[in-house]
Amino acid sequence: MKHTRLLLTTLASLALSAFAQDAGVATIELKPDSKNPLGYDKTELSVKAGQKVKLTLNNTGSIAPQPHNFLLLKPGKLDAVGAQANAMLADPQGMAKNYIPEAAKADIVVNTKLVQPNQSETIEFTAPAEAGDYPFMCTFPGHWMLMRGVMHVTN
């Protein structure tokens, strides 16, 4: 009986520990907006600084199916990376590069690859340690002007 109680207590402790870890993960799903296929369905996201994030770009349900990606950028870098994304339209290797500008790598916190219609990709990362407003965007040609938002990182 004593061993059974100890075993049950240990199992309960492990289960609570696993639940506490899962509760600390911000789970986010983004997809094309049902009314505006060149926009995300969410334009504002909120996470805690240093929090684990599990983000799924679910490219389904659009009235105008086309590829999309997700790039989380350093604060203040939206326009610069957007201009570099526009320039990739002339790059014959743009699709192979997932329309992610090489020159912008230092400004990208995390990104998905280019996700084709009716597919999804999940990325897991740790939110930036520094609080602030981190822009996010899709860099498929012409999309970034509308398909963008802000991830608010708070303490």
**Residues 120 and 70 sit within 8 Å (Cβ to Cβ):** no
Mean pLDDT of the 84-99 span: 96
More confident residue, 7 or 125: 125
Q: List the domain boundaries for the chain.
A: 25-154
- 16-25, 37-46, 84-93, 102-111: lowest mean pLDDT where? 16-25
CATH of domain 25-154: 2.60.40.420
Tallying the residues shown for the chain, one arrives at 155
Evaluate if residue 7 carries a pLDDT over 60: no
pLDDT, tens digit, 9 for 90 and up, residues 35-80: 888 999 999 999 999 999 999 999 998 888 999 999 999 999 999 9
* Tokens found for residue 72: 């989380």
* pTM for the model: 0.84
Rounded CA separation 71/73 (Å): 6
